[in-house]
Chains A and B, each alone.
Chain A
Amino acid sequence: MNTTTRETTIAADPSAPTILITREFDAPRENVFRAHAEPDLVKRWLGPRGLEMDIDRWDCETGGAYRYTHRDDDGEYAFYGSFHEVRPHERIVQTFTFEGWPDGVSLERMLFVDLGDGRCRIEALSVFESIEARDGMLASGMEHGVREGYEQLDELLAG
């Protein structure tokens, strides 16, 4: 699917359990990196709209860890992981687990690419344990839509 250069692009490899998301920003990569590294800034954009986001822990440094919680009327959704490697302004490698599915873990590698002229591109690669787990993540959208996805699929398969 082709969109304007600014819009998020996504690629889900049919033969490998990965999702690659890229997006460009009209901001210097130092700032884009800071917005990922400093919890006060992270809190302002990472949570889904309409959900409250609490950051319990956000030690964005090599060997650090994080945990955050989203809340809505239906309940709480907590996520946690480790920061495997944090290279300021260049790269963050972290694990990711949804506490509602504790057996699942993915590895996320985020690159911050300097495009010059005060612009920056993010390349976020997520690696899952299996294609099945990757597709499950795509289907669920993590916090929402598990039910929605099942309902749609039920309808489809019943048809």
Chain B
Amino acid sequence: MDDQLSRVFSALADPIRRDMVARLADADAGVNELAEPYDVSLQAVSKHLKVLEEAGLVSRTRQAQRRPVHLEAEVFDLMTKWIERYRRRAEERYRRLDDVLAEMDTEQKPRPDSERGAS
């Protein structure tokens, strides 16, 4: 798999990192703030952040001591687009199935009482 793409996916494969991302969707946050709810060391949280940063999912401003973490929302728009495209493909398939079902109706009326044996 493409390097950058797999980085995004493996970054999101971890539950703590997904939770951090969900919280960053509300507002930027500092590392201490982010670490608060988890029972892990500050170093562990920094490591998670580094993974997210390398995947392009978050960025950290250089300004000030606090260096708040910022979510790069565009990547998630992309995920939403992927899901929508996948859905549209399924819908296209099922519209063809609609047509097949309509044709089956005219080809022969279904016989609900008789079990059709496997051909």
Contact = CB atoms under 8 A, between A and B. Distances in A.
Contacts of A136: 1, 5, 9
Interface stretch (B37-45, B62-70, B104-112): B104-112
Contact of B87 (A10, A46, A139, A156): A10
Contacts of B110: 28, 30-31
B7 to A, nearest CB: 9
Instruction: Tell me the dominant secondary structure on chain A's binding face.
Output: mixed
A141 B4 contact: no
Contacts of A30: 110, 112, 116
B90 interface: yes
Contact of B119 (A38, A44, A48): A38
Instruction: Tell me the dominant secondary structure on chain B's binding face.
Output: helix
B75 to A, nearest CB: 6
A55 interface: no
Nearest to A143: B89
A128 to B, nearest CB: 11
Interface string A27-45: 1101110110110010011
A111 interface: no
**Across the A-B interface, the 10 shortest Cβ-Cβ residue pairs:** A45-B96, A27-B101, A10-B87, A8-B91, A132-B9, A45-B97, A157-B56, A132-B13, A138-B82, A8-B90
Interface of A: 1, 7-10, 12, 14-15, 19, 21, 23, 25-28, 30-32, 34-35, 37-38, 41, 44-46, 48-49, 60-61, 88, 122, 130-132, 135-139, 141, 145, 149-150, 152-154, 156-157, 159
